[in-house]
Chains A and B, each alone.
Chain A
Amino acid sequence: MEALPARARMYVTGVAVAGLLCLLPAVPLSSAPLSQTLPLPLQLPLSAASGPDVPWGAVALLAVLYAGCERLARSRHLGAPNPGGTFHPVLLAAAFLLPPSAAALVALPGALLTPVEQRPFLARRIWRAGQLTLAVWAAGRAHLAAGGREAVADGDVPAALGAAGASVLVFCLVLTLLDRGILALAGGVPFRRGNRAPRPECRRTTWRRTRRRPRRTSRRNTRQTTWWRLFLRSLAPVTVHGLAGLMMALLWRSPYGPVAALLVLLPMCVSWWAFAQYHRERAAHQATIRALVQAVDIKDGYTRGHSERVGQASTMIARELGMDDERTEVLRFAGILHDVGKLGVPTRLLTKDGPLTPEERRVIELHPEYGHEMVRGISFLGEARAAVLHHHERLDGSGYPYGLAGAQIPESARVVAVADAFDAMTSNRSYSRARPVPVALDELQRCAGDHFDPRMVEALVRAIGRTGWHPAVTAEDVRQPPGPPAPPADEPVATQVADPPGARR
């Protein structure tokens, strides 16, 4: 709690109190005295909702079901993100079946008991409980108002669908708005325009993370999203959950009872399980690629973190050029993997002290082709494969391996070439000290047209001019290579240009 700003604390408390007020009519003892003290706008719906018949058995069953599902999902896939967010079908089925306050009660035990991963734990639990009870209560109210209860009881599917649709809309809207509120108060994100949208499934866990790592640069760099865009994005999964919840409610009311309703949940659980597996496998895949790239960095000795930083700079250029997310991601991989072919170059040559013979230089210059040979079979890399092969080509045709010129060089390769040269100049190398970013950018602009595509250079200059250069792996991490400095043969072109001609080549 102590890390939260006071405003956010008050907000959480307010939401929690509102959630409690939603629950009150379900508790028969306290409903009579308290309803007099309630503010007027709340009183009317509450008194309408508090029917005499709260089916306590159903409430208990659904609450246990919800808490159990949440618990199960978190315990089994330790480390995997919880894909569905929460088990909304159970909550929505409760909203379709029970009076609104009783339905809100269903969400309470699960929201309070499920462990949270990040600090502050207590505030997070209270927040989750308040948010969910409010949302479920509102969904139940909407469903009631749309006449859904009769439709569900009669098995009238079109009418029930309409009411469920309204209910899902309200549910989603309440969740999104409350989320934006806490983001604005705790994370310092303005309410109307916010940070790059967190993915809907981890929406609930990100409000602290944005605050803990104030990455101003990337925040301004990334696309801004408005709350309604978030709303639309989370609407699709919640609609699917709503359909499952509706079917649960219909079957619950049928002669077959709760047993049949539970069966509806099974495909959803299987789907979540597969989704969690997908995320785990994807993370493992990315870790593998990174680790292999680190192997190159270690082998090369003097370029620790180089690959990651080139990936980062490539991403910046791609974003600046307005490429879509998928292509940007591919270019990030292109930057990360551009030197993977050095795995195939004997370590002796990469770490050689003293000048290289032409023979040895030729061997090292084979690394783009080695790299291409390695990544050729990885289909998801797409045009990144061409970038690996051609990242040492120059615009005037004097590069290698093929001496391509101008537009013959694939666009991805031109992006990576600029990013590679930029990072080579701005990080410490065994043979030269790191240059300041503006000097490096000037140097790039000087070589634009001869060696580099001016479009890419301009994009990098613009991107860095706006956000600055903040590599994830900084140049200070660079390990000093043993022995006297040796000029590597495959040094980026800009470094060669910066030095007097003939000094290195």
Chain B
Amino acid sequence: MTLRPHTLVHACAAALAAGCLGATLWHGIAERGAALAFGLLVAVGELTRHHGPRPRDGRRPGEGAPPGAGTQPRDGPRIRQAAPLAAAGSLAYALLGEAGGRPSHHGAAQVVTVVLAASLLGSVPHIGRGRGPTRDRLARRTLTVGFVAVCFQPLYGRGTFDDWGGPAHALLLLALLSLSALCDAVLAAALAHSRTGWPFPPVLRDELRALPGIGAAVVATGAVMALGVAVVGLWALPLLSVPLLLAQLSYRRYAAVRATYRQTIASLARATEIAGCTPAGHARRVADLSQSVGRDLGLTEPDLTVLEYAALMHDIGQLSLVDPVPAGATAALPAPEQRRIALLGGAVVRQTGVDPKVAGIVERQAEPHREQPLAARIVRVVNAYDEKSRAGGPGGPLTALEELRLGTAGEYAPQVVESLARVLSRAAGAGEHADGYEDGGGRP
């Protein structure tokens, strides 16, 4: 097996952690009080970590995952910075130059050791619940804190920053933390890319887009904690934790309501299945597969959410028909009829008050691919694939993909069909034999 980037990152983090632990054991711990306080803060921050809704909540057990969906977040985008307090506390400790007016003497090694130990300690209850820290997260925390501490502590100890008095010092800390946040985003994107094979630029864009929100709050709190402790001592830690905890709470509620919204749309989109317009699980399968294809084609997370909603509701126009389409197979209908159903669906979606982009995609799913936006192309191709592969019985997926390739002249966008083939073969390669796709989903 070749050395993959995330293995390399883990090895680096482990080496750093081991080195720091050794150095700390050799030299002993300086300023135990501050170490204990920051350790406590990081541990408490880890304790309040939010894991988001449980995956597959409300899904039918019989509904297997479609190909390519195994590596995908099920209930919305990942929650970035789920433990902001722990992150801010560890950054602040790395930037701590003095406490209550007296200079402190803890080195970079002690910073990494304390933060790592506290993170592990705070994760113990989560491990008990079966949701322990992933190695990726620990590696990122170790490397980021190590980076900041190694940049700051030796130079500070040598007195390089003595000329940077007052506000300049605050700005210096801010700049250093912003740099570390950027590095952390790149690291996170690289890890995600290496693990899942998603294209790197959109993943990086997603990571960077999350920075102005909770990321900025973490950076600001980290810097201001270091300064506050320098001015008034350890009192600053609880005082400054409150605003950040409030931000965390707001984010958590935001995430919760988004998850609820998603559940509602997914559930109500099944009205077509219940009415017998479409086969069971069709909307969910099209949504999952569309997201995989969208990922592969480099869509970012907001676009992916719109795509998911549109895919879930793409058949909702059939509810307005007086007589249902046989088996709900719209791909086999004549083009004007397809377009009419799409327009009906768009009208329904527009009424629901979801993002107007979703209605636009539903409306335009039946147009020739040259006139469609990318998301509508994806929905059309994936919908046709799901219908054709189901209708084809065993060997259906292969035939379906072949038919789609033949249709690339007008109906189906070639780049999307190719992407679909890639996604299916990747899923087959990963050994995911989900229901109905035992044939491996057409390895090209």
Across the interface, do A380 and B260 meet the contact criterion of CB distance under 8 Å? yes
Identify which of residues 301-347 in chain A touch chain B, using a CB-to-CB cut-off of 8 Å. 340-341, 343-347
Given known A285-B257, A373-B274, A378-B264, contact A271–B243 (CB-CB < 8 A) = yes
Across the interface, do A374 and B228 meet the contact criterion of CB distance under 8 Å? no
- A272-313 vs B: 1/0 string, CB under 8 Å? 111101100110110111011011000100000000000000
Identify which of residues 241-281 in chain B touch chain A, using a CB-to-CB cut-off of 8 Å. 242-244, 246-247, 249-251, 253-254, 257-258, 260-261, 263-268, 270-271, 274-276
B174 cross-chain contacts in A, Cβ below 8 A = 263
Chain B residue nearest in CB terms to A271: B247
State which of A288, A343, A344, A377 has its C-beta within 8 Å of the C-beta of B352. A288
Q: Judge whether B57 is part of the interface by a CB distance below 8 angstroms.
A: yes
Is chain A's binding surface mostly helix, strand, loop or mixed? Answer: helix
Across the interface, do B268 and A274 meet the contact criterion of CB distance under 8 Å? no
Across the interface, do A376 and B322 meet the contact criterion of CB distance under 8 Å? no
State which of B231, B247, B270 has its C-beta within 8 Å of the C-beta of A254. B231
Q: Judge whether A417 is part of the interface by a CB distance below 8 angstroms.
A: no
B329 smallest CB distance to A (angstroms):
18
Given known A254-B227, A260-B227, contact A267–B243 (CB-CB < 8 A) = yes
Chain A residue nearest in CB terms to B321: A347
Bound together, the chains give a CA A480 to CA B40 distance in angstroms of: 68
A253 smallest CB distance to B (angstroms):
8
B418 smallest CB distance to A (angstroms):
33
B interface residue count range (under 10 / 10 to 19 / 20 to 34 / 35 or more): 35 or more
Q: Judge whether A503 is part of the interface by a CB distance below 8 angstroms.
A: no
Identify which of residues 157-195 in chain B touch chain A, using a CB-to-CB cut-off of 8 Å. 165-167, 169-171, 174
- B271-306 vs A: 1/0 string, CB under 8 Å? 100111000000000000000000000000000000
B217 cross-chain contacts in A, Cβ below 8 A = 266-267, 270-271
Q: Judge whether A127 is part of the interface by a CB distance below 8 angstroms.
A: no
Across the interface, do A264 and B354 meet the contact criterion of CB distance under 8 Å? no
B351 cross-chain contacts in A, Cβ below 8 A = 291, 294-295
Q: Judge whether A375 is part of the interface by a CB distance below 8 angstroms.
A: yes
- A140-179 vs B: 1/0 string, CB under 8 Å? 0000000000000001011000000000000000000000
Q: Judge whether A246 is part of the interface by a CB distance below 8 angstroms.
A: yes
Q: Judge whether A259 is part of the interface by a CB distance below 8 angstroms.
A: yes
B246 cross-chain contacts in A, Cβ below 8 A = 240, 267-268, 271
Bound together, the chains give a CA A347 to CA B233 distance in angstroms of: 71
Given known A291-B351, A373-B270, contact A281–B261 (CB-CB < 8 A) = yes
Q: Judge whether A76 is part of the interface by a CB distance below 8 angstroms.
A: no
A378 smallest CB distance to B (angstroms):
5
Across the interface, do B267 and A263 meet the contact criterion of CB distance under 8 Å? no
Interface centre among B213, B214, B261 (most CB of A within 10 A): B261
Q: Judge whether B58 is part of the interface by a CB distance below 8 angstroms.
A: yes
B276 cross-chain contacts in A, Cβ below 8 A = 344
Chain A residue nearest in CB terms to B251: A274
Q: Which of B218-226, B363-371, B389-397 contacts A (4 or more CB under 8 A)?
A: B218-226
State which of B165, B254, B274 has its C-beta within 8 Å of the C-beta of A274. B254
Identify which of residues 233-256 in chain A touch chain B, using a CB-to-CB cut-off of 8 Å. 240, 243-244, 246-247, 250-251, 254-256
Across the interface, do B221 and A267 meet the contact criterion of CB distance under 8 Å? yes
For the complex of A and B, 4 pairs with smallest distance between CB atoms? A377-B58, A274-B250, A266-B220, A287-B353
Across the interface, do B220 and A347 meet the contact criterion of CB distance under 8 Å? no
Q: Judge whether A36 is part of the interface by a CB distance below 8 angstroms.
A: no
Q: Judge whether B324 is part of the interface by a CB distance below 8 angstroms.
A: yes
Across the interface, do A345 and B267 meet the contact criterion of CB distance under 8 Å? no
Across the interface, do B227 and A377 meet the contact criterion of CB distance under 8 Å? no
A344 cross-chain contacts in B, Cβ below 8 A = 271, 274-276
Q: Judge whether B150 is part of the interface by a CB distance below 8 angstroms.
A: no
State which of B167, B221, B242, B268 has its C-beta within 8 Å of the C-beta of A374. B268
Across the interface, do B58 and A376 meet the contact criterion of CB distance under 8 Å? yes
Bound together, the chains give a CA A244 to CA B245 distance in angstroms of: 12
Given known contacts A256-B167, A264-B220, A281-B254, what 11 new A-B pairs fall within 8 Å (CB)? A155-B232, A254-B230, A271-B243, A274-B250, A288-B354, A295-B348, A340-B271, A370-B275, A376-B58, A377-B266, A380-B260
Across the interface, do B353 and A247 meet the contact criterion of CB distance under 8 Å? no
Identify which of residues 137-170 in chain B touch chain A, using a CB-to-CB cut-off of 8 Å. 165-167, 169-170
A271 cross-chain contacts in B, Cβ below 8 A = 217, 243, 246-247, 249-250
Q: Judge whether A348 is part of the interface by a CB distance below 8 angstroms.
A: yes
Chain A residue nearest in CB terms to B212: A270
A-B contact pairs, 27 of them (CB 8 A): A157-B232, A247-B236, A247-B240, A250-B228, A256-B166, A259-B171, A260-B224, A263-B223, A267-B220, A268-B246, A270-B247, A272-B250, A274-B254, A278-B250, A278-B254, A278-B257, A285-B257, A285-B260, A285-B264, A292-B352, A348-B323, A373-B274, A374-B271, A374-B274, A376-B267, A378-B58, A379-B58
Q: Spell out A's residues near B (CB within 8 Å).
A: 155, 157-158, 240, 243-244, 246-247, 250-251, 254-260, 263-264, 266-268, 270-275, 277-278, 281-282, 284-285, 287-289, 291-292, 294-295, 299, 340-341, 343-348, 370, 373-380
A282 cross-chain contacts in B, Cβ below 8 A = 257
Chain B residue nearest in CB terms to A286: B353
A255 cross-chain contacts in B, Cβ below 8 A = 165-166, 231
State which of B166, B253, B267 has its C-beta within 8 Å of the C-beta of A375. B267
Chain B residue nearest in CB terms to A337: B268
State which of A157, A278, A345 has its C-beta within 8 Å of the C-beta of B275. A345
Across the interface, do B324 and A346 meet the contact criterion of CB distance under 8 Å? yes
B324 cross-chain contacts in A, Cβ below 8 A = 346
B37 smallest CB distance to A (angstroms):
14
B270 cross-chain contacts in A, Cβ below 8 A = 373-374
Bound together, the chains give a CA A377 to CA B54 distance in angstroms of: 13
Bound together, the chains give a CA A143 to CA B266 distance in angstroms of: 54
Across the interface, do B247 and A260 meet the contact criterion of CB distance under 8 Å? no
Q: Judge whether B319 is part of the interface by a CB distance below 8 angstroms.
A: yes
Bound together, the chains give a CA A345 to CA B276 distance in angstroms of: 9
State which of A240, A281, A287, A347 has its C-beta within 8 Å of the C-beta of B243. A240
Chain B residue nearest in CB terms to A239: B242
B355 smallest CB distance to A (angstroms):
8
Identify which of residues 347-386 in chain B touch chain A, using a CB-to-CB cut-off of 8 Å. 348, 351-354
Across the interface, do A268 and B243 meet the contact criterion of CB distance under 8 Å? yes
Q: Judge whether B239 is part of the interface by a CB distance below 8 angstroms.
A: yes
B429 smallest CB distance to A (angstroms):
31
Bound together, the chains give a CA A247 to CA B253 distance in angstroms of: 26
A243 cross-chain contacts in B, Cβ below 8 A = 239, 242-243
Given known A240-B246, A260-B167, A281-B258, contact A291–B352 (CB-CB < 8 A) = yes
Across the interface, do A379 and B231 meet the contact criterion of CB distance under 8 Å? no
Bound together, the chains give a CA A378 to CA B320 distance in angstroms of: 24
Bound together, the chains give a CA A243 to CA B239 distance in angstroms of: 6
Bound together, the chains give a CA A263 to CA B227 distance in angstroms of: 10
Across the interface, do B275 and A244 meet the contact criterion of CB distance under 8 Å? no
A345 cross-chain contacts in B, Cβ below 8 A = 275
A141 smallest CB distance to B (angstroms):
23
Given known A243-B239, A343-B271, A348-B323, contact A267–B247 (CB-CB < 8 A) = yes
Bound together, the chains give a CA A275 to CA B250 distance in angstroms of: 5
B216 cross-chain contacts in A, Cβ below 8 A = 266, 270
State which of B58, B213, B250, B352 has its C-beta within 8 Å of the C-beta of A287. B352
Across the interface, do A370 and B250 meet the contact criterion of CB distance under 8 Å? no
Bound together, the chains give a CA A284 to CA B242 distance in angstroms of: 29
State which of A155, A250, A257, A285 has its C-beta within 8 Å of the C-beta of B166. A257
Given known A260-B227, A266-B220, contact A288–B261 (CB-CB < 8 A) = yes
B48 smallest CB distance to A (angstroms):
15
Bound together, the chains give a CA A268 to CA B241 distance in angstroms of: 11
Across the interface, do A288 and B264 meet the contact criterion of CB distance under 8 Å? yes
B391 smallest CB distance to A (angstroms):
23
A259 cross-chain contacts in B, Cβ below 8 A = 167, 170-171
Q: Judge whether B59 is part of the interface by a CB distance below 8 angstroms.
A: yes
B244 cross-chain contacts in A, Cβ below 8 A = 267
Across the interface, do A274 and B247 meet the contact criterion of CB distance under 8 Å? yes
Across the interface, do A256 and B257 meet the contact criterion of CB distance under 8 Å? no
